[in-house]
Amino acid sequence: MCGILGAYSRSQSLSNDLLKAGLRQLEHRGPDSQNTWIGANGRIGLGHSRLSIIDLSTGHQPLTDSSESIHAVVNGELYGYKEIRADLEKLGHRFKTQSDSEIVIHLYKQYGTQCLHHLRGEFSFILWDQANETLFAARDRFGIKPLYYHSSPELLALGSEMKALFPLGIAADWDPEVAYQLHSAFLFLPSRTLFNKIYQVPPGHFLLATQGNVQIMKYWDYSFPTVDQLRTSSISEVEAIHDLRTLLNESVRLRLQADVPVACYLSGGLDSCAVLGVASQYVDQPIHAFTLSFDQEAYDEEKIAREMATHAGAHYTPISVTQNEVADAFEKAIWHSEIPLINNHGVAKFLLSKAVRSAGFKVVLTGEGSDEVFAGYPHFRKDLFLTYPVEQANAVQNLLQELSDSNEISKGLLLSGDSPVDIPSLRNTLGHVSSYLESNAGVGRRLSTLLNPDFARTYENRDPFRVLLNQLDCTQMVNRDSVNQSLYLWSKTMLPNYILSVLGDRMEMGNSIEGRVPFLDHKIVEFAAKLPIQYKIKGTTEKFILREAAKSVLTSTVYKRQKHPFLAPPVSAQPKGPMLNLMQDTFRSTEFKRLPFYDANRVISLLDSLPSLSSSEQNQADLSLTLMLSMYSLQKNFKPGTALFSS
């Protein structure tokens, strides 16, 4: 993995010093080497910060072809590249390195933008086609690797992280519309960011720019089957389990390929345990497995992970994370994330990655993405239960109560802890209200009580759910099963903009760790999308087909265990702990009052009320408080402009 940067000036020559300054902001993504290239006309420049994983000696970037008419910088891993390279060589292409990244240049020369359909893996890249004076940039299908851009009449700039764009003269100003979207319904938009005029290339899209035009175009989507197509699915359960096992084995095997050692992140959950179990079949030496350990029993999975590591014959290392360490690392983690957290799990993941890097590893396999592919979260089960016939109303209520009782720490976060909410824009467009968006509405209701009245008044008539739907291809959800609708919505919002960011790329690459995600191999995702819902959720069992496909490599404990979300203990778990002290100091500070979004007195009242709240209310308050502390850290780190509202 690496950090990439590109700049395309419409008129003036670029400054190599500024390009290097932007690249320095990405050094954590690639500490092994940093290089820049500026074209002969001075108006196109590329930068690359390298973390050496494959082809350690000759794979330096920016890359170019033999005629030096195409240049590129690539971030990520491209699997099956040796076979692609061999096919291209048969067509007359000549390679200069042994790097997987170089296939991007030659695939583009052969197929143009259609080259994206030949790529398998997690990636983002920026390519300059000199003959056609065209800049071509793309992001992988799921948003595993980030890619941001700013476009103005004078400059198009792209980078792996937003902070790399600021040295190029791009202002770090708040985008109040996005801030309201976040606080009113905890919704991330596919292409917007919290910073004004800085956008992201959405997952499964590419950017094409010429001298006077910038286009964003889609090249891939989930394409869930219609309800009628699901009814006529002919694949048997036995066939589906066999086919998934074959695909998962191949995906993990491909992601073990590297010129450096590969480790695993391991929790007590089905996903990471399945990855470790499968990976252990393809290595000659024990894999190193690393597990986060917390001092709160409800959040600690160390014993289950240890049992799984022993079962897989892995070399096991638990990493204990204390609240003191979380408090000390919080601001640094936010600098890396560039978005707010709702729980300290992101900081814990940052500390885990730091420990793994210190142990000498650059590459880890992770279990992210499985819940999005196989409907693992409890709100997907709620969506399914609510589709049962009205004559089963009593049974449905029992199922919902059982779901609530068995997911105590998810209430108010993944499951609504409030009374049902009707969201007309969702119901009118999709026919039902997705359970996770109902939960988000509850989060927004609580956050709205803490907002600066001027800020809230500016957007008081706005429907954040309509704003979201307006930016999605709703034809992908019409006439789809409610579970698949929710899977699509979650995979367009929370997966790329939170799960794969603060629990994936940003916390891993913040410590120069490359995370590889076998469940987000597009062949697995395309296969799973077409499966009948009952293969994903069977009765009350989530991820049924994955359990069966991986059963032979799992412990009995993991095979039988229900999904538990990865969360760090809430701040209220230590009433006089360092995180609560940090919040007390922050929310009472003059600097916090300069944030344009909050009513500081209401925030302090919430903070002071924590001891009197119930356990579930404390968990819900923890979400709000952590988000606001994150926003303060973003303000402190990047100093965005604050003159947003008229008095």
Q: How far are the Cα atoms of 113, 195, 198, 284, 332 from residue 148, in angstroms, in the given order?
A: 19, 11, 7, 40, 20
Integer Cα distance of 538 and 544 in angstroms: 6
DSSP reduced 3-state for 70: strand
Calculate the CA 115 to chain-centre distance: 24
DSSP alpha helix (H) spans, 112-170: none
**Amino acid letter at 267?**
S
Nearest to 32 by CA among 366, 353, 259: 259
Nearest to 48 by CA among 14, 69, 79, 73: 73
Return all residues near 603 (Cβ < 8 A) that are at least 6 apart.
450, 587, 592, 625, 628
Hey, what long-range contacts does 470-474 have (CB within 8 A, 24 or more apart)? 471/189, 471/190, 471/191, 472/190, 473/218, 473/221, 474/429, 474/430
Residues belonging to the active site: 2
Integer Cα distance of 100 and 82 in angstroms: 8
- Structural tokens at position 318: 């638990």
Q: Which residue has the tokens 């409907």?
A: 375
DSSP alpha helix (H) spans, 435-481: 435-448, 453-458, 464-470
Return all residues near 319 (Cβ < 8 A) that are at least 6 apart.
290, 291, 292, 293, 351, 352, 355, 356
DSSP assignment of 185-222 equals: H----SSB-SBTT-EEPPTTEEEEEETTEEEEEE----
Calculate the CA 140 to chain-centre distance: 12
Strand (E) or helix (H) holding 227? helix 227-231
Instruction: Give the DSSP letter of residue 281.
Output: G
Burial of 94 from C-beta contacts in 10 A (0-12 / 13-18 / 19+):
exposed
Integer Cα distance of 21 and 7 in angstroms: 13
- Structural tokens at position 500: 């794969």
**Amino acid letter at 286?**
P
